[in-house]
Structure 1
Amino acid sequence: MDWLTIALLLLFGLLFLAVEVIFIPGTTVVGLVGFGLLIAGIWFSYRDFGTGAGHVLLASSAVVVGFLIYLGLRPKNLNRMALTNVNHARVHDVRHPDVVPGTTGRTLSALRPAGTVLFEDDRREVTTRGEFVAAGSEVRVLAIEHNRIVVEKVA
């Protein structure tokens, strides 16, 4: 086999390994093909050009592969394939109400018996025990029943 074929085997083997380690890590097929091409190129160099050339190509290939692995394992490259974002969002838990009994607010709509009340800066859907309350009236929270805020008109 001539030197051009061996050089191309080594070149494509290193390119496939570089693609595997740096650009698309985790696919393993591309890396295995590259590793196979590299092994074939080194084996043919030992067979056709002797042990001296084989040792040189083996050592240089090992150095290049080591450098590629170093590039691929840098934190910048590892962060591309690892999930690093943390979700700090939360949902409103009805077991821990943010409007406690005794809180007062002003109705934005008429409560017939349900409507909207403004507690400080929070709009909440509320209900009464059956009575009607006009819009703009002041109300007080009586209780939290399941996921409902029960209010009464402040006299």
Structure 2
Amino acid sequence: MDWLILISLIVFGALLVMLEVIFVPGTTVVGILGLIFTALGIYHAFQNFTPMVAYGVLAAAGLINFGMIVYGFKSGVWDRFALKDTSLGSAYEDRLLGLEVGQVGETISDFKPYGKIIIADKIYEAKSQGGFIPSKTSVTISKIENNKIIIKP
């Protein structure tokens, strides 16, 4: 009966480590459970068998788990989870093309301090430099910085 418990713990632990490495890499919960079951098997061996058998079980369990990890890295499973592409674009990259400091537009909403302006039939979101600006007010672009339009009346 002791051998059945020992073999069951070691095999179940090794299977959990294999599941972690091959099927669900990166979650670590399954792998940690596998190592816990393997450690329980080794503990059981030291409690119920001679030291020579227990050290043999320790070496075998270590080799089995190490072999599973090496196999997982060599099989290319981790490549499915690795980022390989690079995003070169960015949001709103050319949104402010054609705008210059000094251009005149009209507010289409109240600025408190943010609101909407219309310049050359295009609507932009902007920030007022001085605070509140009512709707339908003529404004001038005073700054364009960090992809933001700053206006003044």
Q: Check whether TM > 0.5.
A: yes
The residue that corresponds to 1:86 in the other structure is 86
- In the alignment, the residues of structure 2 paired with residue 66 and residue 89 of structure 1 have an alpha-carbon distance, to the nearest angstrom, of 42
- Which secondary structure does the structure 2 equivalent of 1:83 belong to? coil
Residue pair 2:22, 2:77 contacting (<8 A) in 1 also: yes
Amino acid paired to 1:16: L
Q: Deviations for 1:23-42, whole angstroms, at most 9, x for unmatched residues?
A: 10111111111111100111
- In the alignment, the residues of structure 2 paired with residue 56 and residue 76 of structure 1 have an alpha-carbon distance, to the nearest angstrom, of 31
The residue that corresponds to 2:70 in the other structure is 70
- Which secondary structure does the structure 1 equivalent of 2:25 belong to? coil
Measure how far apart 1:74 and its partner are.
3.0
The residue that corresponds to 2:44 in the other structure is 44
The residue that corresponds to 1:115 in the other structure is none
Deviates more, 1:87-96 or 1:46-55: 87-96
- In the alignment, the residues of structure 2 paired with residue 71 and residue 146 of structure 1 have an alpha-carbon distance, to the nearest angstrom, of 62
Measure how far apart 1:18 and its partner are.
0.6
- In the alignment, the residues of structure 1 paired with residue 43 and residue 51 of structure 2 have an alpha-carbon distance, to the nearest angstrom, of 10
**Mapping of residues 52-67 of structure 1, within 5 Å:** 52-67=52-67
TM-score, structure 1 normalization:
0.55
TM-score, structure 2 normalization:
0.55
- Which secondary structure does the structure 2 equivalent of 1:27 belong to? coil
The residue that corresponds to 1:13 in the other structure is 13
**Mapping of residues 1-155 of structure 1, within 5 Å:** 2-74=2-74, 76-87=76-87, 93=94
- In the alignment, the residues of structure 2 paired with residue 70 and residue 62 of structure 1 have an alpha-carbon distance, to the nearest angstrom, of 12
- In the alignment, the residues of structure 1 paired with residue 35 and residue 77 of structure 2 have an alpha-carbon distance, to the nearest angstrom, of 21
Measure how far apart 1:89 and its partner are.
6.4
Aligned length: 102
Amino acid paired to 1:82: A
Measure how far apart 1:12 and its partner are.
0.3
Amino acid paired to 1:70: V
Change over 3 Å in CA distance of 1:92–1:2 after alignment to 2: closer
Runs of 5+ consecutive residues of structure 1 not aligned to the other structure:
98-144, 148-155
Runs of 5+ consecutive residues of structure 2 not aligned to the other structure:
99-119, 123-153
> Which of the pair has more CA radius of gyration?
1
Q: Deviations for 1:24-69, whole angstroms, at most 9, x for unmatched residues?
A: 0111111111111100111111211111111111111111111111
- Percent identity over paired residues: 31
Amino acid paired to 2:10: L
Amino acid paired to 2:46: Y
In angstroms, what is the RMSD of aligned CA positions?
A: 2.7
Amino acid paired to 1:25: P
Change over 3 Å in CA distance of 1:89–1:64 after alignment to 2: same
